[in-house]
Amino acid sequence: MVAALAADAASKSDATGFRSVDPNNLVLIDTKYGEVAVELAPQFAPKHIERLRALVRAHFYDGKSFYRVVDGFVAQGGAGEGTASTGGTKHDELTKKWPPLKAEFDAPIGGAFTPLGSPDLFAPEVGHIDGFPVARDRKDGRMWLIHCPGTFAFARDNGPDTATTEFYIVIGAAPRRLDRDLTAFGRVISGMQYLQKLQRGDPDVDNGVIQKTTKPDPILRMRIAADVPESERPSFAVLRTDTPAFEKVKEERRHPTSPFYFRKPPPVLDVCLVPVKVRKVK
Amino acid sequence: MVAALAADAASKSDATGFRSVDPNNLVLIDTKYGEVAVELAPQFAPKHIERLRALVRAHFYDGKSFYRVVDGFVAQGGAGEGTASTGGTKHDELTKKWPPLKAEFDAPIGGAFTPLGSPDLFAPEVGHIDGFPVARDRKDGRMWLIHCPGTFAFARDNGPDTATTEFYIVIGAAPRRLDRDLTAFGRVISGMQYLQKLQRGDPDVDNGVIQKTTKPDPILRMRIAADVPESERPSFAVLRTDTPAFEKVKEERRHPTSPFYFRKPPPVLDVCLVPVKVRKVK
């Protein structure tokens, strides 16, 4: 399946080295500040993505909220009360309909991986697959999505196999300590600035869950782009990361040539700080 | 002077290990979303801080704007057009009044430095002084403030000695490649979430300067807290970083004991990801 995905991506990339985002893997989140677009990476967590699509199509998220928002860390959305990650009385009812998922913290190595070419403190090897920041361990043959700004993942309770319906998106500096400890399977390709406007919670109170006195911002609607009529469906293209064009982007970050850099910075590259260009096609 | 500062800090810290922020080193920035508080670190850039205080007291910034805001990177404020960092016709007039400053990219090593205790890819040694993230190179005896989320610095043109009036604040992942290449001398201790609401520019157009069709958000007012009547002056305390309490914070990040961590993360600590607690006293 991974090979098929890679071939598909290649066939859809145009001469400029951009790859069209498959509308089946594009989640649109309407907030009151604007539309957020998340691209899913099915090879990393197929069962979670199946669940997410089912939840979106059941309108589970519509009208729910971003109820836990910690500045510089994450925005968490979903039902809030009664879920595995927050507990509460509605827990049983919810998990009957949406049973806990088996963790998909990592996946078998596969896909068109391009090494970053710089060392990393958290993983034996890091790089990109289709624009997603990926870490790998060849010793056990596993790979996983890295927690960078914009990473989309499912929240869980303390047990590894407890994710049900709640998602979070990284809105601050990369919390790499969460890598391979939660199931991450997407990244925001447009609209980060709208997530940054979300009402915050107090990180010292209930882990940043927004308390009753303040109203959390709603999730107005969530859709899979493939379900949106083609005439109004937004469409994106992402720079391919297995190309000489992307090597140039990395090289310019690693060894900036701009005269602005009076002192040349150490030739270090942070996998979360390499911009992977996204174009809104329509 | 550094010794005096350290002694001063110690004398003002209470039994809980918090240090009061000196109102002379506290800059208050009023945005339409809320108040942002920045603590200055005079030992890192005394001339820039002298300039900043003079600009604030001349009401230079009041009514100006955050005219360059790049999501995930920086919010830049000041006059905008006509400054060293943006060029334009008003440049000469402005620099007559506020001549370019000599770079203060680094300073002599000093102060109560506490090593982080984890390796860093960008500097020989990193740690904290009074809650500020600091890098040092003992070979040349210099230290400098690290670009973390919330770091406050002066913008400049290509030449090193060209900063005049414009400032920026890091609002995204740590752009460490800027370390020691710009004059950084403060950090946001309160109100990051208001900066996150600022109107963004397009990073692909004029470096993210907000174009004429969109209105940048104003800097309503900037004040040095010491100039605010005591009855209405906000006051903050910052956790001391040269204490066992802070060592505990770092240790819990490095080796999390929470059962949530099904897989123990690598014992790596990013200097920008250690939270340094701030209390609003009033």
What single string gives the DSSP state of each residue in A30-93?
EETTEEEEEEE-GGG-HHHHHHHHHHHHTT-STT-EEEEE-TTSEEEEE--TTBTTTB-TTHHH
- The shortest CB-CB distance from A121 to any of B119, B123, B253 is to B119
Residue A7 CA, distance from chain mean position: 22
Does B109 have pLDDT greater than 70? yes
Residues of B in contact with A268 (CB under 8 A): 121-122, 176-177
pLDDT given at position B2: 39
Mean pLDDT in residue range B79-96:
69
Angle formed at CA A81 by CA A76 and CA A85, multiple of 5 degrees: 55
The pLDDT score that the predictor gives to residue B95 is 86
Best CA proximity match to B59, nearest among B223, B228, B232? B223
Please tell me the predicted confidence (pLDDT) of residue B16: 73
Confidence of residue B212 (pLDDT cuts 50, 70, 90): confident
Per the listing, tokens 């004040």 go with: B223
Q: Per-residue pLDDT tens for A133-160?
A: 999 999 999 999 999 999 999 999 999 9
In chain B, residues with a C-beta closer than 8 Å to the C-beta of A102 are none
| A24, A104, B143, B147 from A98: Cα distances, Å | 21, 16, 54, 43
Nearest to B122 by CA among A256, A262, A265: A265
Residues in a beta bridge with A200: none
Residue A2 confidence (pLDDT): 38
With CB atoms and an 8 Å threshold, state whether B265 touches A196: no
**At CB < 8 Å, which residues of chain B contact A?**
71-72, 103, 105, 119, 121-123, 148-149, 158-160, 172-181, 192-193, 196-197, 200, 253, 256, 259-263, 265-266, 268, 270, 272-273
Phi first, then psi, for residue A186 (nearest 5°) are -165, 175
Residues of chain A with pLDDT under 70: 1-15, 81-90
Q: What is the ipTM of this complex?
A: 0.91
pTM: 0.92
- State residue A113's pLDDT score: 97
Q: For A35-65, what is each residue's pLDDT tens digit?
A: 999 999 999 999 999 999 999 999 999 999 9
pLDDT tens digits, one per residue of B29-74: 999 999 999 999 999 999 999 999 999 999 999 999 999 999 999 9
Task: Measure in Å the smallest separation between the Cα of B223 and chain A Cα atoms.
Answer: 24
Give the percent of chain B with pLDDT over 70: 91
Lowest mean pLDDT among A3-7, B146-150, B250-254: A3-7
Alpha carbon of B183 to those of A241, B64, B101, B157, B163: distances in Å? 34, 21, 10, 12, 9
Spatial separation of the C-alpha atoms in residues A223 and A229, rounded to whole Å: 11
